[in-house]
Structure 1
């Protein structure tokens, strides 16, 4: 598949509930609110439609939706920032530490996240996310692996630290991270033309307005190309698969004044300069 046919694509509904794909205006900066803006709309079934065509029609954004309606798989990489490894007391890993989330973990950039009672000690993890362009296998190591990236976006790799704790929960990262709605992403899919070098990006996370994380993506231990090579060896990576690349230092588990896990009503905002910002309110179900 050729490069994405959009620069900055959003998926949204208008006031009548019709769902559209739209292209952000060139003068709309990444940190501005998307609600209420008017955009040109695409003709096509999805972001991956090879006949996706930008029309002269416009529509006004009423609700910003998850940029992908569904995904085949969500991959995650743990302990992938140098300073995060240091704050958690771990040595730098020799190979990527990977886990999976199921498609039901996917949720929208502004959706309320409903937390099941089994998810104890919930923590945020602001992350750069990339989407696979094609169905591939056995991608060679090297920078050319980036040719397999379709687009970049922002994500929150939510984690229940109880289940990740070796003594309490049995060190179960997969279970800890794969609850429904534990992968908010969006709000924009940004093409690789717009972001040719993800290492130059800067990520920040805020909880109720308090900055908790700020890091350059250049602190990654395993870069995007490394992750694609590793995940594809002997395994098929499907077109549209979401890959969450890891979180920098500053997670709630390792704050200087003690752990601060998310509470009912908390609002988490994650932004990546040049891409966009997600904002989710947390509701803890009883």
Structure 2
């Protein structure tokens, strides 16, 4: 099942994709694609619906596929090739950092290049959306706590991240730095999250082309690991890391984003995102 949120920012409505790829309006069934909807029971209720009987949505803009995410947790350097291009050793344990939830936006919304930005960068990532509370979860049970998966562009400002002191959060949290979607694909449609191809183009040039099979720490390991330090709640999002090909790793010279560029990215079975970069609003 592919769940979607559609409508203007802050006024999105819930929907699902039918067999023809058209968005059906779920507003008469659930209030939104949020924590209550993401439980096993909530998803089973939606799966039992006759999609063809639901009204077609006048979708227009597609919003982020999750409403009111409580936490946006990211994993750094989780692909060995990306660690190497960053000049780092592959980590012995997952590197965790937080991205502000105010960075979340729709999959095709414009991406703002912040004021004083020198090194805005891209990162295609597999997103994991939690559906059931997870605390001290074992690896063998970890995937049972997943509601579904989505595409994430973990947009970053490298100078803010690494040259301005403190933790990575300030380089990861600008408005629009967290496009989610287009869909939340329920876990029953993704039997193996470690066999998905992911890719990203900038202005039509392929920059990233990888597979989740190359993660250092697999999805189940990450969920179990994170749950040792904080309780994961329904609606929390985990961005699981990016393969090689980010702008800061390009040679002979790094390449960074500027206003007026086009970013296209996607993950096998999870859909695509299409963004234009613009100068930050006031």
**CA contact 1:163–1:172 (8 Å) conserved in 2:** no
Question: 58-67 vs 142-151, which deviates more?
Answer: 58-67
Q: Deviations over 1:106-126 (max 9, x none)?
A: 010011122321443110011
Trace 1:62-211 onto structure 2 (pairs within 5 A).
62-140=60-138, 142-165=139-162, 168-170=163-165, 172-211=167-206
Q: Which residue of 2 aligns with 1:46?
A: 32
The aligned runs of 1:211-226 (5 Å cut-off) are 211-226=206-221
Q: Secondary structure of the equivalent of 1:11?
A: strand
Aligned length: 266
Q: Which blocks of at least 5 consecutive residues in structure 2 are unaligned?
A: none
* Residues 118 and 18 of structure 1: CA distance in aligned 2, closer, same or farther (over 3 Å): closer
> How far is 1:88 from its partner?
1.9
Cα drift, residue 176 of structure 1: 1.0
Write the deviation string for residues 197-242 of structure 1: whole angstroms up to 9, x where unpaired. 0111000001011110000110100111111111110421121001
Runs (5+) with no aligned partner, structure 1: 1-6, 29-37
Maintained 8 Å contact 2:149/2:270 = yes
Cα 1:65/1:234, change in 2 over 3 Å: closer
Instruction: State how far apart, in whole Å, the 2-side matches of 1:216 and 1:68 are.
Output: 24
Instruction: Tell me the SS of whatever aligns to 2:180.
Output: strand
Q: TM-score, normalised by structure 1?
A: 0.87
Cα offsets for 1:144-194 (capped at 9, x unmatched): 2111111100011111110233xx323631211122221111001101111
Question: SS of 2:189's equivalent?
Answer: coil
The offset of 1:245, in angstroms, is: 0.4
Point out the structure with the larger strand share: 1
TM-score by length of 2: 0.88
Structure 1 runs of 4+ aligned residues shifted over 4 Å read 51-55
SS in 2 for 1:187: coil
